[in-house]
């Protein structure tokens, strides 16, 4: 049937369908070429480095490269009893290479993390090798076992075998306060050393409550801004926008001044007789400071999406609700509130995402009990220089944020974000 | 918000409670900024209101911290301000160029994989800064741009472009594409059409996106903390160090200047927003 229909041709004699497709393809390429510079730039400088964080976080190639012969021989060893002569011999030759390169110290330190006591026995072995005390013509196994009694302990050889894979999930386990036990099973650290789990929970708790406070404070004022006549609301809008545009550090600094023990807030409490002058409460360097400062700093991010949704709700809807016999409360709850839910979703998700990764404000006003997971990441990047652990923690945080971002995208759509 | 005269008493009470809550929240939002002003004129070096200041004694006020900010010995603020402005200006220009081009492509209805590409371009705004900081640091260290202005500018372009993409896409959503087709049909080439027709129409969006990018760069501290060496110190870095170590009123003098700067930016952003709303109103 279709073959009998005469194809529509353009003036060049090409079928219209083909010509149209060609034009569309050209437009597609044109649009893509406009996006390409930024996309490429971001992929090279941003997306790849985040991927590199992943490979860094699971990387454990150091020992794999240090003891190649040993691990090759160990493949044949069942790991139950002391390894055979070949493993000892291979280990001895690997170790000799490391001694020549002066890298035996690194090996000892790394193995010590796997099992305590490795550092001293590698040093002992190093001295023997250095003084050429080990006779390569007879059994090397016997000689190594004589260096220290721990070399006769099968647990130490099992620990070496565990470091064979070039990749490890141990950093991620550490981030959740777990580790690989001697038999390779996943174990929890002792109760009083579970610091990371406390931090994760605290981060979630603070992000949740900051979001809640922002919602409770932001909803009334967004409503007021949306219902007041333009000339008043524009003036009040400045109260929301000025903090929004002001430097984060300036706002944190002002909270540090307000909340200190001799600060204005405490002065006010003393003045109204809430607290005694000699018993001023500590409001900074703890959770209170983090809550107060973060709520004020993130409040505009709640108000602006709420406002833009409320602005579109016609006031006649509330009047209709009331005229149909609803009290103002019923009219609000049944008519107005459901219409603002998209704004609530957008605002809450935005504030939660921002709060969960907050770093500067908690670091300055949070003290020890008000710091978040970001502060821990920064600590490992700068102080302990355990970059692979910082990467692992960062990616754990990132995966949480990406899940929320995905929900946000489904509910609100990233292209619906409004600014100012 | 006058209430009609027939309102029942209990709703009247609720209304006043509502107004009281709103007043409190507005106060909570704006008051912290104003505590900075008087203290920056403090004659003493403590960050509390002295007795003299409470009694409005003129001797308790002075400009010494402003003098210290400008002429102080071993003064870090001059270099910091210079660096901040240089970095922010180049980062803004870069963000505007890359972001506007991308927004033009994204608002074309022929754009393939729009959703995922948009999500990627916006991601630096969503990903926690500390993670962006770590990732960008790894990259810059690898290509040898850590502790250079170029590295910081590139990092700030990454963080600034999402704002330009968002504002320009929003402006383009009200853009009447028939005007560019009209220009093309009259024989104008694409570049000419863009410069003479499209750009003037979307300029408010471009500039307000640029303002966001500028403020993002000017205020950014997390990523710079990873990237900056001693030579690349910026105003936020100096404030961060100051707030952590020696809390001196000079910081408040700087903060006052920053509040004035942000007020100026707010005013220009508001004017631009109104202008672009007016323009969009005409298009409809």
Model confidence at A419, in pLDDT bands (50, 70, 90)? low
Enumerate the β-bridge partners of residue A178. A188
CB B47, CB B201: distance < 8 Å: no
Q: Are the Cβ atoms of B269 and A420 closer than 8 angstroms?
A: yes
- Report chain B residues whose CB lies below 8 A from the CB of A241: 266, 269-270
Asked whether residue A2 carries a pLDDT value surpassing 80, the answer given is: no
Asked whether residue A157 carries a pLDDT value surpassing 80, the answer given is: yes
pLDDT one-digit tens code per residue, A177-208: 888 776 667 888 887 788 888 899 999 999 99
pLDDT one-digit tens code per residue, A98-119: 888 888 888 888 888 777 888 8
Tell which of B108, B124, B135 to mutate to test the A interface (max A CBs under 10 Å).
Answer: B135
Model confidence at A415, in pLDDT bands (50, 70, 90)? low
- Say what the pTM is: 0.84
Q: Please provide the average confidence, as pLDDT, over all residues in chain A.
A: 85
Tell which of B32, B48, B115 to mutate to test the A interface (max A CBs under 10 Å).
Answer: B32
Residue B154 pLDDT = 96
Q: Are the Cβ atoms of B48 and A262 closer than 8 angstroms?
A: yes
Tokens at residue B60, please? 């308790």
Nearest to A250 among B118, B163, B258 (CB): B258
Q: Are the Cβ atoms of A419 and B39 closer than 8 angstroms?
A: no
Please name each of the domains of chain B with its CATH number: 78-283 (1.10.3720.10)
Model confidence at A81, in pLDDT bands (50, 70, 90)? confident
DSSP sequence for A137-195: TS-HHHHHHHH-GGGG-HHHHHHHHHT-SSB--HHHHHHTTEEE-TTS-EEEPPGGG-H
Dihedral pair phi/psi, residue A9, rounded to 5°:
-110, 150
Residue B66 pLDDT = 81
How many H-runs (helices) and E-runs (strands) does chain B carry? 14, 0
The ipTM of this complex is 0.86
Model confidence at A219, in pLDDT bands (50, 70, 90)? very high
- Buried-exposed string A77-99: b where 16+ CB fall within 10 A, e elsewhere: beeeeebeebbbbbbbbbbeebb
Nearest to A50 among B29, B101, B135 (CB): B135
Q: Are the Cβ atoms of B26 and A236 closer than 8 angstroms?
A: yes
Dihedral pair phi/psi, residue B224, rounded to 5°:
-65, -35
Residue A417 pLDDT = 58
Residue A167 pLDDT = 82
Architecture of domain A195-416: Orthogonal Bundle (1.10)
Asked whether residue A420 carries a pLDDT value surpassing 50, the answer given is: no
Beta-carbon count within 10 A of B189 CB:
9
Average pLDDT over residues A289-305: 92
Give the minimum alpha-carbon distance from A171 to chain B in angstroms, rounded to a whole number.
16
Tokens at residue B94, please? 């870069």
Q: Are the Cβ atoms of B35 and A418 closer than 8 angstroms?
A: no
Enumerate the β-bridge partners of residue A59. A167
Q: Would you tell me the crossing angle of helices B129-142 and A48-58 to the nearest 10 degrees?
A: 90
Cα separation of A82 and A158, whole Å? Answer: 9
Of chain A, the percentage scoring pLDDT greater than 70 comes to: 96
Beta-carbon contacts below 8 Å between A and B: 263
Give the minimum alpha-carbon distance from A28 to chain B in angstroms, rounded to a whole number.
5
CATH 1.10.3720.10 in chain A, residue ranges = 195-416
Average pLDDT over residues A329-350: 86
Give the residue from A292, A417, A308 showing the smallest Cα distance to A353: A417
Residue A4 pLDDT = 53
Model confidence at A216, in pLDDT bands (50, 70, 90)? very high
Residue A418 pLDDT = 55
CB A218, CB A244: distance < 8 Å: no
Residue B210 pLDDT = 92
Bigger pLDDT: A193 or A40?
Answer: A40
- Report chain A residues whose CB lies below 8 A from the CB of B161: 38, 42
Residue A18, CA atoms < 13 Å, CB-side half-sphere: 9
Asked whether residue A336 carries a pLDDT value surpassing 60, the answer given is: yes
Give mean pLDDT in consecutive 10-residue pieces for chain B, a chain of 284 residues: 73 89 93 86 76 73 78 78 94 96 89 86 90 93 90 95 90 83 89 88 87 92 89 89 82 89 87 74 48
């Amino acid at each position: 049937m279709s073959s009998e229909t005469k194809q529509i041709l353009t003036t060049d004699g090409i079928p219209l369908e083909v010509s149209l497709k060609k034009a569309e393809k050209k437009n597609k390429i044109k649009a893509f070429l406009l996006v390409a510079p930024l996309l490429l730039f971001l992929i090279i400088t941003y997306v790849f480095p985040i991927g590199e964080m992943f490979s860094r976080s699971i990387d454990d190639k150091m020992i794999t490269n240090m003891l190649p012969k040993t691990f090759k021989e160990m493949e044949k060893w069942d790991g139950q009893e002391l390894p055979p002569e070949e493993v000892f011999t291979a280990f001895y030759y690997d170790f000799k290479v490391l001694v020549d390169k002066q890298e035996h110290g690194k090996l000892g330190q790394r193995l010590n993390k796997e099992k305590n006591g490795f550092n001293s026995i590698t040093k002992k072995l190093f001295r023997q090798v250095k003084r050429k005390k080990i006779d390569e013509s007879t059994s090397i196994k016997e000689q190594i076992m004589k260096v220290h009694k721990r070399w006769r302990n099968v647990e130490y050889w099992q620990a070496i075998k565990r470091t064979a894979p070039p990749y490890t999930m141990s950093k991620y386990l550490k981030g959740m306060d777990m580790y690989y036990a001697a038999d390779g099973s996943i174990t929890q650290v002792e109760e009083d050393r579970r610091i990371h789990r406390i931090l994760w929970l605290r981060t979630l708790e603070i992000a949740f409550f900051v979001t809640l406070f922002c919602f409770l404070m932001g909803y009334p004022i967004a409503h007021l801004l949306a219902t007041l006549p333009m000339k008043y609301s524009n003036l009040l809008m400045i109260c929301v926008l000025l903090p929004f545009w002001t430097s984060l550090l300036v706002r944190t600094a002002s909270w540090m001044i307000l909340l200190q023990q001799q600060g204005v807030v405490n002065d006010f409490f003393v003045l109204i007789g809430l607290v005694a002058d000699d018993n001023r409460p500590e409001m900074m360097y703890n959770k209170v400071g983090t809550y107060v400062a973060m709520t004020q700093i993130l409040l505009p991010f709640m108000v602006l999406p709420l406002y833009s949704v409320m602005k579109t709700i016609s006031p006649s809807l509330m009047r209709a609700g009331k005229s149909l016999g609803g009290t103002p409360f019923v009219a609000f709850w049944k008519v107005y509130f459901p219409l603002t839910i998209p704004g609530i979703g957008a605002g809450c998700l935005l504030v939660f995402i921002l709060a969960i990764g907050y770093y500067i404000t908690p670091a300055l006003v949070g003290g020890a009990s008000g710091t978040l997971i970001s502060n821990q990441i920064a600590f490992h990047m700068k102080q302990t220089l355990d970059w692979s652990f910082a990467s692992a923690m960062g990616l754990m945080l990132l995966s949480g944020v990406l899940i929320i971002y995905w929900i946000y995208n489904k509910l609100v759509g990233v292209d619906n974000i409004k600014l100012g | 918000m006058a209430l009609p005269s027939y309102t029942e008493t209990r709703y009247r009470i609720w209304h006043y409670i509502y107004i009281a809550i709103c007043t409190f929240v507005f106060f909570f939002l704006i008051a912290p900024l104003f505590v900075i002003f008087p203290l920056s004129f403090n004659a003493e070096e403590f960050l509390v209101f002295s007795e003299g200041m409470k009694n409005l004694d003129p001797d308790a006020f002075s400009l010494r911290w402003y003098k210290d900010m400008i002429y102080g010995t071993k003064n870090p603020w001059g270099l910091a301000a210079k660096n901040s402005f240089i970095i922010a200006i180049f980062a803004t220009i870069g963000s505007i160029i890359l972001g506007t081009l991308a927004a033009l492509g994204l608002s074309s209805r022929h754009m393939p994989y729009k959703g995922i590409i948009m999500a990627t371009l916006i991601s630096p705004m969503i990903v926690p800064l500390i993670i962006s900081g770590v990732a960008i640091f790894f990259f810059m260290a690898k290509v040898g741009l850590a502790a250079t202005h170029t590295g910081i500018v590139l990092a700030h372009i990454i963080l600034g472009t999402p704002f330009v993409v968002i504002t320009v896409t929003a402006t383009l959503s009200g853009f009447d594409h028939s005007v560019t087709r009209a220009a093309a049909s009259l024989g104008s080439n694409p570049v000419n059409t863009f410069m003479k027709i499209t750009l003037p129409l979307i300029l408010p969006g471009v500039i307000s996106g640029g303002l966001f990018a500028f403020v993002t760069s000017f205020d950014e501290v997390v990523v710079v903390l990873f990237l900056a060496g001693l030579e690349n110190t910026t105003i936020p870095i100096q404030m961060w160090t100051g707030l952590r170590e020696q809390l001196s009123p000079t910081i408040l003098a700087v903060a006052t200047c920053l509040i004035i700067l942000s007020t100026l930016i707010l005013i220009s952003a508001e004017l631009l927003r109104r202008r672009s709303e007016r323009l969009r109103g005409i298009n409809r």
